Structure 1
Amino acid sequence: MNVRNLFTDAQPPITGERFDTLVQQGNVVIERIVSGSEVQPVQYVQAQDEWVVLLKGEAQLDVAGQPVLLKAGDHLFLPAQTAHTVTKVSPGATWLAVHIHTSNHPT
């Protein structure tokens, strides 16, 4: 059994976001996302469902044209094909994302 801590090696990048895969099993991928103080808004429209929780910090998103404000502890389910963009984050915002793919072969 390999016990690890989610906050180990979680230094934020200067800009953008860092995505670290923690677990990949069957059709599920769990990743940690650490946000830098400056993010370039990128719109994601993913083939898989995603459940995300903000563990640390604050964030503002645009989800299908609607503003969404998150603070530590808030979580959100994003069905497949839902356009979403992170528009603003606090430095070091830390997320846990669970991606649920329709097949056993995540891309």
Structure 2
Amino acid sequence: MQIGNLFNDAIPPGQGERFDTLLSHRNLVVERILSSADISPAEQCQAQDEWVLLVCGEADLEVAGAPVALKAGDHLFLPAGTPHTVRRVAEGSLWLAVHLHPEAAPVRASTVPSVPAEVAGALHGAA
């Protein structure tokens, strides 16, 4: 069991952003990002999907060439390969980022256990 608090030690750096990994499990990474107002905008284009939540603060981004303004509580999904840049961010902005990395290798059909038809039917009917 891992217990933490998103707001503990939530002090932004003097410049740029601080990235803290909260969870790394299989192909999932959850990060807390703390932003100072003094950033150097740089385009990012990641190999993984990313979902971000701006917990507090404000930010102006450019996503695939389009301007996007975020305020506290706004969230955004960035599919893998989507170019994006944080253009401006308010001092002390706090983000929660969830990265879903591609699987290392596809699951082969032969490695997936078979489920008896009556069990599969019961499971499907329960949904």
TM-score, normalised with respect to structure 1: 0.94
- Where 2:19 maps in the other structure, the secondary structure is strand
Q: Which residue does the alignment assign to 2:116?
A: none
Matched residues, number: 105
- Return 5+ residue gaps in structure 1 as ranges: none
> Which string of whole-angstrom CA distances, capped at 9 and with x for unpartnered residues, describes residues 15-72 of structure 1?
1001100000011000000001111001100000000000010000000110000000
Match of 2:17 in 1: 17
> Percentage identity across aligned positions?
60
TM-score normalized with structure 2 length: 0.80
CA drift of 1:103 comes to 2.0
- Larger radius of gyration, structure 1 or 2? 2
**What is the root-mean-square deviation in Å for CA atoms of aligned residues?**
1.3
Which protein has greater RCO, CA pairs closer than 8 Å, 6+ apart? Answer: 1
Equivalent in the alignment of 1:48: 48
1: distance between equivalents of 2:30 and 2:2? 16
Gapped regions of structure 2 (runs ≥ 5)? 105-127
Which has a greater percent of helix? Answer: 2
Q: Give the corresponding residue for 1:88.
A: 88
- TM-superposed CA distance for 1:3, in Å, is 2.0
Q: Distance in 1 between matches of 2:57 and 2:67?
A: 17
Shift in Å, 1:2 = 3.4
Name the residue aligned to 1:36. Answer: 36
Moved over 4 A (4+): none
Query: Deviation string for 1:60-85 (max 9, x for gaps)?
Result: 00001100000000000000000000
For residue 43 of structure 1, give the secondary structure of its aligned residue in structure 2: coil
Deviation at residue 13 of structure 1 after TM alignment: 0.7
Q: Aligned AA for 1:23?
A: L
